[in-house]
Structure 1
């Protein structure tokens, strides 16, 4: 997101909470700058420009996963799914999408199981199972059929449970 020179000249926020200061413009849909932090993009803004990207009313717009080890979570999701991240300091990393951030990894003391189920799409379900296992994830429910196709559930190294689905082979 930032050049090496720009990163070196801007101190990073101590934590994601630093961005939520009184008077923050985060919810006004603009770029955010907290005192003593780098300029960051609010969800829905391209990391490449400050122009807003398209959103759909009442659609899921940003997913945030709590993780107990940010470096390990980034390594896992990069190895398993090829994800890339925008680093915002030691406690938060944004998940890069094709045009904007889709979510983030937030450092937490613990992960509480049983939250909403995030479901990823795969063109090759069996290859995704293998990638999750090789990256250090645990398969919670092996691939099974459901009315829309097939899917499996896995646990990441922090204990988050996600699912991956694929349409049935024709």
Structure 2
């Protein structure tokens, strides 16, 4: 089992779900991916850690109606200095979801911030103290890749390169398909796709992630059997067999063969 003790700085380090029905979400992800769950208790607002083979892989929390937001996942990026990263992001055009522009301390766990980039994609920041992020990667039921689909490709790339120091490589730069990857320690951990010609009207720029699946088609069927839905059917690509799905309360994510 590939175990990661720390994410590279500037790379995705954690994912968590805001769910309107935590018990239903736990049943869904437990049935589909074999996740088990531990509650952090009332001190942490009932936050739940999902475990894969006993190691942290994701978080779940109650979607407060006051947030006026559909159920969905958030991706957090590792920073070694969250105050500096927050200030840099805001100076580069991001909008903070927390006022004043200060990180929130999660006792004994780390520091977090929530932002939207200059093109409107939401993401989080995480500076770990006791919580290192997801520790299982690149296997069934664990994160394998992350992707930003953006309405302004070049503006988004400039923002993340400026704020996180990403080293990016262009995969394609045509009107039909414009895509770049960012590599950390020689491994492409995320991609940025030009969605200006693909996103439906009213759909914002969005960060998403891929969970690994030993058998994508079997996992898609498990998702449907447990109340989820298929957004884009499984298909073979140069990067493996991929599918886009939603869980039992409508939160979307992707699958990738491993």
Could you state the TM-score of these two structures normalised by the residue count of structure 1? 0.60
Q: Which moved more, 1:127-136 or 1:94-103?
A: 94-103
1:69 aligns with 2:160: no
**Structure 1 unaligned residues grouped into runs of 5+:** 1-52
Shift of the alpha carbon at 1:142?
0.7
SS in 1 for 2:5: coil
Equivalence for 2:7: 56
Equivalence for 2:49: 94
Indicate conservation of the 8 Å contact 1:86/1:93, yes or no: yes
Q: Quick one: distance in 1 between partners of 2:34 and 2:229? A: 18
Residue deviations 1:74-96 (CA, integer Å, cap 9, x gap): 01111111111111247421111
Q: Quick one: distance in 2 between partners of 1:112 and 1:75? A: 16
Shift of the alpha carbon at 1:97?
3.3
SS in 2 for 1:62: strand
Equivalence for 2:147: none
Given the superposition, is the C-alpha separation of residues 156 and 146 from structure 1 closer, same or farther in structure 2, using an over 3 Å criterion? same
1:151 aligns with 2:246: no
Could you state the TM-score of these two structures normalised by the residue count of structure 2? 0.41
Given the superposition, is the C-alpha separation of residues 107 and 75 from structure 1 closer, same or farther in structure 2, using an over 3 Å criterion? same
Shift of the alpha carbon at 1:112?
5.7
SS in 2 for 1:57: coil
Structure with bigger strand share is: 2
Indicate conservation of the 8 Å contact 1:81/1:131, yes or no: no
Given the superposition, is the C-alpha separation of residues 100 and 61 from structure 1 closer, same or farther in structure 2, using an over 3 Å criterion? farther
Given the superposition, is the C-alpha separation of residues 149 and 162 from structure 1 closer, same or farther in structure 2, using an over 3 Å criterion? same
